[in-house]
């Protein structure tokens, strides 16, 4: 930690801070500058999180140095983490595609989707049974019935299941049907949910919040890992900005950034990231080349009548075309499709 | 609803859309423009939320006209809503101040804070017993013990209690101690929580999410009201922007905007909104004059040693000075302090 | 300056950096932490702006300590600066209102506006003769003819003139008519223009850019002052965010923040800041109470037919009502209206 | 254009608006909804830009339909535009790389850079002679001397020259040395500059503003084209968001979006877009695959001592490695390197 004292801070004020630093178990080293005095502190910064120093008289700023997340950090684990979802690998050169409708709407559509997607190369089936709808008047999902349809279809076509869990009380039920839990963007800082999900044994797909920094995202991953479950896959799905042409703004920088700061795999969801069908394929490939370990793509047999997210869902033929390209690029880059 | 067809859309495409509109129970009226055809649709837009039209061939855009929130809207209820929190009124010319520490840290500090704050004119005591901390390693709150301290102190000094509920499973417990539930910014779109809180009978303080639009905020309020509880107070606490000098950016425009769009009261939290003690007082008064129905202010007997949010907490004397000014401005504006 | 070396930086890397710091004329002080080494550097940080150290091997981060702006800073000048615009004072307890149409559209409207505004208490007349229009097909302004109308009307009613200068080649011409130059938000980082305007002798109204931080704003002020003109008035006019209900988002925090960091006066433009007539008055008063040294308000005799910015322009009676309130609040706060 | 009247708008108010629409030369078609009346207007929306209707009594909103930019739009020109910079083609399947230092610092470094870059496959040399520095105390560029060094080096190695013009008065001088003019992000809405640059005959590289929407960008392109010069290349260089880990946030969505809305080529600048050397290569390739028509990359023989932008500049060997990959990807995608 580095404490910068204000220009004109008195000796007394500086002494008070130095004393406090020592009380907190850190070693202070004072550097008297031309204008300001700097106090470098040796020891673990974490104690400052509960005993902040900013408001002591004369203090201008406090800079923590140690990262607030540990288990999620690349400094903790140098090698890429490879997550195994029912035998499908993600990370460390293994690429996986998750596909399916936004909402599970019925059994037949889940079967036709699973058949098409698995033949195209997607190994993980997605679909929402419990939907986070912005309006209380929107379709909220089929619940357990939806989970059942999804699981049946997945089993038929040898796919794994990922679905969103929104409520701590649903975890047990969803655990019967899902192979991976998804934490939605709006729940990335639902700390109760993160704590509970950390107690589960299955992989977690953690979506970045709409205005979450990469640091916030890794802190959320840290919550889950600290809770006991280190099988976390990060997911970029677009952030909120001033641009209105697209539903969200994909922050592609986060893909290689995450690989610098963390060992966890990171995938891209270009469906929510753009909100426009016509942009999904170019952005999916762009993300692959940026280093993503996978994709999550919304597909629907007939997007015009989809109960949610129709405008961004790919038709079956569009998804097949995308997968052909994905396979070509993966081969070109020497990666394996999981 | 207004559908705009692309330049060059074929007659067949236009006919398909017109047919779909009629199927959905709306009356289509076609206007052929120089370049584009517009289809105005008479009826309730809501059906489109689950049966979107955007992706039909030839459609360029779809504009909904009816607001997505109803019960929260000013069109539904012309008069200001006045919320009653244990006899303390908020809204419609009644102004209330909620004060207290970020976290309940002990019994003594809650008593000294409640004494000082109530004497200064604040009628509602705040404090966190279950804390949403961004790091799993931070102090998470005293739990039920903290609730007890807060209630005892509030009763002693004739104050009401507001505290955050983060987990649907805590509602019952917190209900024993709180007079008002707070939904935190990070949980504004925790739809499970909104649905459950809608089943309670006490007033709800709903904090705006860090990147939520005013429309998102009113939709969240709608969730709660649709769930059965219409005692909702909105709270602006700063949004996330590119500015780093302050912790958040207070969007003061939302105060008069909310009064145009909704009948619900709206208060300001300048503590989180600025993150800096020195800015709290000017922004509190600025918010009052913008039309806020109240304030939520963090105070602490000794901010330097606060376990959370020390840098933005007012000292006791600073809070007393603020309240003196608040009373003067309220008198000047002919408002009542609740 | 404080340099933080990466965890695991070699002694050789540390030595290289220490050597470089000394070469640059600063005194390095090394503090070996548990994980990382910190090098505090005594001397003027500015040299780093042209000789950055970030990319030396082993360096994790570099923190400058001295502020990048000097003449604009409160550390340079403790007392509030009072700007004199043709006898009208702004700053240090003096409040001034600038009013007028977005664009100068004709002579008659300028006269009727100047008459009404001056009688209501506004001392400075605004109007655009050279307009920054986002579309090349929009009305670009009346040019010199417009300047003449504005000056005539201002002289008739004993007002000063402020108008925007967009092009370095126009400065000389505009100088004949204006008492204060306005630098528009889109030109806040038009460094050529800032350098030229620094050579003038008249006060400058510097509008904050749509995505400029307070630091960017003060750096722009520094440009002008360093150029030779220290009569700078800052202006908050709203920033760009994700909120679409208002045209911009007023960052009210900047008013008291600017007063902490700088001695320059700061005013508020609630017309552009909201983009909605109905929000102008509450936000104007909110800004006054936040500590603004003045307001810039767009008015128009008939907003429905205004050639630009009609939706945010106040009608004459609305402006008069606003001014009545402004005077009452200024009296209440013991400030003088300039 | 579509006008939506408020719920409860009177017949008189509706009639006034209909009358106004006709006065403006458009044909009104009224659709009476259950709650609101909609008036579809046939004719050219543009007249509204100078005669807005929003503030007529009873009007809730006005939606323009025709795009505000014409010559830049894909509707105006279906085929991709191919820009020719001294024989080097950009757009329509032709990919070009522009490389060089942030600032021209001396003759020798320009020669070594041009040699290395051209051999690696970059055909356009960049460098700043007139620098937009955020601080008046920073190195402002070598001026004409710098232009000369750049031109000599470019000629020696058969490269074209692109350099930024910041001031309308510099255009003539820079025209002697540059083959393409660059308009910097901070000047994207410097309308005076856009108008002047539209009078030139050489290609223009137009950088997106830090908080400009794609619509703003295309309007700026429209300014230039309307001025007489249609040789415009768009450039994404990152936008300003809340994320602080990277200097800017690359909005990769804009690459395929621009190709939908416009026929103009668009390139990516991953150097400013990330601000971090380690992220430049992955983002460069990501942009190529997203559909960019080229790249602008900052390189420096010795980034540690670069006078500006050192942290994001690639070393010579890093640039050579990037170009090897670029060529492989272009070949894979069947594109030509210009």
- Judge whether residue D49 has pLDDT over 70: no
**Alpha-carbon gap, residue B28 to B12, rounded angstroms:** 15
D310 closest CB neighbour out of C54, C304, C310: C54
Buried b vs exposed e over B85-99: b needs ≥16 C-beta within 10 Å?
Answer: beebbbbeebbbbbb
Do β-strands D59-63 and D232-236 pair in parallel, antiparallel, or remain unpaired?
unpaired
Look at residue B49 in the predicted model and tell me its pLDDT.
65
CB contact under 8 A, A136 and B226: yes
Look at residue B13 in the predicted model and tell me its pLDDT.
93
Assess A288–D contact: CB distance below 8 Å, yes or no. Answer: yes
Dihedrals φ, ψ of B103, to 5°? Answer: -115, 145
Dihedrals φ, ψ of A100, to 5°? Answer: 160, 180
Do β-strands C37-42 and C27-32 pair in parallel, antiparallel, or remain unpaired?
antiparallel
Look at residue D243 in the predicted model and tell me its pLDDT.
97
Look at residue C324 in the predicted model and tell me its pLDDT.
98
Instruction: List, in sequence order, every residue forming a beta bridge with D84; answer none if it has no partner.
Output: D89
- Judge whether residue D292 has pLDDT over 80: yes
Mean pLDDT in residue range D318-338: 95
Q: Which residues of B touch C289 (CB under 8 A)?
A: 282, 285-286, 288-289, 329
- Judge whether residue B321 has pLDDT over 80: yes
Assess A134–B contact: CB distance below 8 Å, yes or no. Answer: yes
**Alpha-carbon gap, residue B97 to B329, rounded angstroms:** 13
Distances (CA, A) of A193 to A200, A324, C65: 11, 37, 40
Q: How far is B182 from chain D (nearest CA, A)?
A: 26
A52 closest CB neighbour out of B136, B277, B310: B310
- Judge whether residue A227 has pLDDT over 70: yes
- Torsion angle in degrees (nearest 10) through CA of B106, B108, B110, B113: -140
Determine which of A44-53, B82-91, C58-67, D55-64 has the lowest per-residue pLDDT on average.
A44-53
Chain D neighbors (3+ CB pairs < 8 Å): A, B, C
D219 closest CB neighbour out of C68, C134, C189: C134
By the 8 A CB rule, do D270 and D285 touch?
A: no
Look at residue A24 in the predicted model and tell me its pLDDT.
85
Instruction: List, in sequence order, every residue forming a beta bridge with D160; answer none if it has no partner.
Output: D124
Decide: residue A266, CB within 10 A, 0-12 exposed, 13-18 middle, 19+ buried: buried
Would you place residue C40 in the very low, low, confident or very high pLDDT band (cuts 50, 70, 90)? Answer: confident
Assess B252–C contact: CB distance below 8 Å, yes or no. Answer: yes
Mean pLDDT in residue range B281-306: 95
CB contact under 8 A, B190 and A191: no
- How many Cα atoms sit within 13 Å of B235 on the Cβ side? 28
Assess C25–B contact: CB distance below 8 Å, yes or no. Answer: no
Q: Which 45-104 residues of chain A touch chain B by CB within 8 A?
A: 46, 49-56, 68-69
Which has the higher per-residue pLDDT, C193 or D137? C193
Mean pLDDT in residue range A201-213: 97
B214 closest CB neighbour out of C213, C245, C254: C245
Chain B neighbors (3+ CB pairs < 8 Å): A, C, D
Look at residue A50 in the predicted model and tell me its pLDDT.
66
Tell me how far apart the terminal alpha carbons of chain B are, to the nearest angstrom. Answer: 43
**Alpha-carbon gap, residue B158 to B118, rounded angstroms:** 8
Token code pair at residue C301 = 């005799």
A242 closest CB neighbour out of C4, C66, C242: C242
Dihedrals φ, ψ of C13, to 5°? Answer: -65, -40
Do β-strands C204-207 and A232-236 pair in parallel, antiparallel, or remain unpaired?
unpaired
**Alpha-carbon gap, residue D296 to A71, rounded angstroms:** 37
Look at residue D306 in the predicted model and tell me its pLDDT.
83
Model confidence over B325-336: pLDDT tens digits?
999 999 999 999
Model confidence over A26-61: pLDDT tens digits?
888 887 777 788 888 877 777 776 677 877 888 888
Model confidence over D143-166: pLDDT tens digits?
999 999 999 999 999 999 999 999
- Judge whether residue C50 has pLDDT over 70: no
Model confidence over C105-125: pLDDT tens digits?
999 999 999 999 999 999 999
Assess C256–B contact: CB distance below 8 Å, yes or no. Answer: yes
Q: How far is A173 from chain C (nearest CA, A)?
A: 37
- Judge whether residue A324 has pLDDT over 70: yes
pLDDT above 90 covers a percentage of chain D that reads 74
**Cα diameter, chain B:** 76
Assess B112–C contact: CB distance below 8 Å, yes or no. Answer: no
Contacts of C226 (CB under 8 A, 6+ apart): C71, C198, D136, D137
Dihedrals φ, ψ of D126, to 5°? Answer: -115, 160
By the 8 A CB rule, do B3 and B30 touch?
A: no
Sheet strand arrangement including B59-63: B27-32, B37-42, B2-5, B59-63
In chain D the beta strands, taken as DSSP E runs, fall at 2-5, 27-32, 37-42, 59-63, 83-85, 88-90, 94-100, 124-126, 160-164, 180-183, 204-207, 232-236, 266-268, 294-298, 336-337
- Judge whether residue C62 has pLDDT over 90: no
Query: The pTM is what?
Result: 0.92
Q: How far is B159 from chain D (nearest CA, A)?
A: 38
Assess B2–D contact: CB distance below 8 Å, yes or no. Answer: yes
Q: Which residues of A touch C32 (CB under 8 A)?
A: 42
Determine which of A290-304, B253-267, C31-45, D243-257 has the lowest per-residue pLDDT on average.
C31-45
Do β-strands B94-100 and B124-126 pair in parallel, antiparallel, or remain unpaired?
parallel
B42 closest CB neighbour out of D33, D44, D241: D33
By the 8 A CB rule, do A103 and A132 touch?
A: no
What's chain B's average pLDDT?
A: 92
Chain D residue with minimum CA distance to A333: D329
CB contact under 8 A, B260 and C278: yes
Q: Smallest Cα–Cα separation from B253: which of B232, B275, B238?
A: B238
Model confidence over A67-118: pLDDT tens digits?
788 899 998 899 999 999 999 999 999 999 999 999 999 999 999 999 999 9
Distances (CA, A) of B250 to B247, B263, C5: 10, 21, 36
Buried b vs exposed e over C102-120: b needs ≥16 C-beta within 10 Å?
Answer: bbbbebebbbebbebbbeb
Q: Which 184-213 residues of chain A touch chain B by CB within 8 A?
A: 186-187, 189-193, 195, 210-211
In a mutational test of the A interface, the residue from C40, C62, C64, C77 whose CB has the highest number of chain A CBs within 10 Å is C40
Domains, chain C, ordered by start: 2-63 (3.30.70.1140), 83-337 (3.20.20.70)
Q: Which 160-179 residues of chain B touch chain A by CB within 8 A?
A: 166-169
**Alpha-carbon gap, residue B194 to B171, rounded angstroms:** 11
**Alpha-carbon gap, residue C164 to C173, rounded angstroms:** 12
By the 8 A CB rule, do A237 and A208 touch?
A: yes
Dihedrals φ, ψ of B230, to 5°? Answer: -100, 15
- The secondary structure element, H or E, covering residue B182 is strand B180-183
Which segments of chain A does DSSP mark as H helices, in order? 11-23, 47-50, 107-120, 144-156, 171-175, 191-197, 214-227, 254-261, 270-274, 277-290, 316-332
Determine which of B55-59, B127-131, B164-168 has the lowest per-residue pLDDT on average.
B55-59
Count the Cβ atoms, other than its own, within 10 Å of residue C336: 12
CB contact under 8 A, A166 and B192: yes
Model confidence over C246-285: pLDDT tens digits?
999 999 999 999 999 999 999 999 999 999 999 999 999 9
């Amino acid at each position: 930690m580095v404490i910068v004292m204000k220009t004109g801070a008195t000796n007394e004020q500086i002494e008070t801070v130095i004393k406090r630093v020592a009380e907190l178990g850190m070693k202070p080293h004072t550097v008297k500058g031309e204008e300001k005095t700097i106090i470098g502190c040796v020891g673990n910064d974490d104690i400052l999180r509960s005993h902040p120093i900013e408001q002591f008289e004369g203090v201008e700023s406090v800079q923590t140095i140690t990262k607030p997340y540990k288990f999620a950090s690349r400094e903790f684990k140098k090698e890429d983490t490879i997550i195994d979802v029912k035998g499908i690998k993600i990370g460390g050169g293994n690429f996986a595609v998750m596909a399916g409708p936004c909402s599970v709407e019925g059994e037949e559509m889940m079967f036709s989707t699973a058949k098409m997607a698995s033949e195209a190369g997607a190994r993980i089936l997605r679909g929402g049974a419990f939907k986070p709808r912005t309006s209380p008047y929107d379709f909220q999902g089929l619940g357990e019935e939806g989970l059942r349809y999804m699981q049946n279809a997945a089993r038929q076509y040898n796919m794994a299941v990922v679905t969103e869990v929104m409520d701590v009380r649903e975890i047990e039920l969803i655990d019967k049907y899902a192979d991976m839990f998804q934490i939605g963007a709006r729940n990335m800082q639902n700390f109760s949910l993160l704590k509970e999900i950390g107690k589960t044994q299955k992989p977690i797909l953690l979506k970045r919040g709409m205005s979450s920094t990469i640091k916030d995202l890794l802190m959320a991953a840290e919550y889950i890992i600290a809770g006991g479950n280190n099988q976390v896959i990060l997911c970029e799905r677009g952030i909120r900005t001033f641009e209105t042409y697209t539903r969200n703004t994909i922050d592609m920088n986060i893909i290689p950034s995450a690989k610098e700061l963390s060992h966890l795999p990171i995938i891209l969801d270009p469906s929510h990231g753009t909100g426009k069908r016509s942009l999904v394929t170019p952005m999916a490939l762009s993300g692959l080349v940026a280093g993503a370990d996978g994709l999550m793509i919304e597909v629907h047999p007939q997007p015009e009548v989809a109960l949610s997210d129709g405008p961004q869902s790919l038709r079956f033929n569009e998804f097949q075309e995308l997968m052909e390209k994905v396979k070509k690029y993966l081969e070109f880059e020497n990666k394996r499709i999981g």
